[in-house]
């Protein structure tokens, strides 16, 4: 969401870089205006990398979706992760099971937030965004595979 036209142009450019090219418009007044009008807001659960590591051990049904680009993935990733770059996510949803929970991760959180929106639009209901992404995962010295 962006409130100023310059930020809208920037967001549109960033979205196009990851394959989202159908931007219909922007929300005049931003989220604050939307909320002030009494319109509904949706949220996505946010978890830390430490919480993700614990969930991976505890919940065998959890799908970890890494939406980074191939060179980023090849530089190191979570062993249990499924790799689908964000710009290919819409075409590869069949690689995920809708009834199972999905934790989405990228490098820092921007692309994973976009991915959670794509998954929600495609009727996935148990979606979590990993705050800080792989940068936080590496800073926490959690295990990666190359």
**Interval 56-92: pLDDT, tens:** 999 999 999 999 999 999 999 999 999 999 999 999 9
The Cα-based distances of 64 to 1, 29, 109 in angstroms read 26, 35, 14
Banded pLDDT at 2 (limits 50, 70, 90): low
- How far apart CA 80 and CA 72 sit, in angstroms, is 16
Element spanning 110, H or E: helix 110-121
Q: Mean pLDDT over residues 13-23, rounded? A: 72
Domain ranges of the chain: 5-36, 45-139
End-to-end CA distance of the chain: 35
- Percent of the chain residues topping a pLDDT of 90: 68
pLDDT (0 to 100) of residue 5: 73
User: Which one has a higher pLDDT value, 46 or 33?
Assistant: 46
Q: Which helix (H) or strand (E) holds 5?
A: helix 5-17
Q: Looking at the domain that runs over 45-139, which CATH code has it been given?
A: 3.40.250.10
Identify the CA nearest to 100 among candidates 129, 66, 64.
Answer: 64
Classify residue 90 as left (phi > 0), alpha (psi -120 to 50) or beta.
Answer: alpha
Confidence of residue 51 (pLDDT cuts 50, 70, 90): very high
The tens digit of pLDDT for each residue in 100-136 reads 999 999 999 999 999 999 999 999 989 999 999 999 9
Contact 111, 86 (CB under 8 A): yes
Residues, the chain = 146
The span from the CA of 103 to the CA of 127, in Å, is: 6
- The DSSP secondary-structure symbol of 40 reads -
Q: How confident is the model at residue 22 (pLDDT cuts 50, 70, 90)?
A: confident
Q: Where are the alpha helices (DSSP H) in 18-88?
A: 30-36, 49-58, 70-74
pTM above 0.75, yes or no: yes
């Amino acid at each position: 969401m962006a409130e100023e036209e310059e930020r809208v142009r920037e967001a549109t450019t960033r979205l196009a870089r990851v394959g989202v090219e159908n931007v219909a418009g922007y929300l005049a007044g931003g989220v604050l205006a939307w909320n002030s009008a009494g319109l509904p807001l949706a949220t996505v659960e946010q978890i830390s990398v430490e919480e993700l590591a614990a969930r991976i051990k505890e919940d065998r049904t959890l799908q970890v979706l890494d939406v980074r680009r191939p060179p980023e993935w090849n530089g190191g990733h979570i062993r249990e992760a499924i790799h689908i770059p964000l710009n290919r996510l819409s075409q590869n949803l069949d690689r995920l099971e809708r009834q199972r929970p999905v934790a989405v991760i990228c490098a820092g959180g921007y692309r994973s937030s976009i991915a959670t929106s794509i998954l929600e639009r495609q009727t996935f209901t148990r979606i979590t965004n990993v705050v800080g992404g792989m940068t936080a995962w590496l800073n926490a010295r959690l295990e990666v595979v190359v």
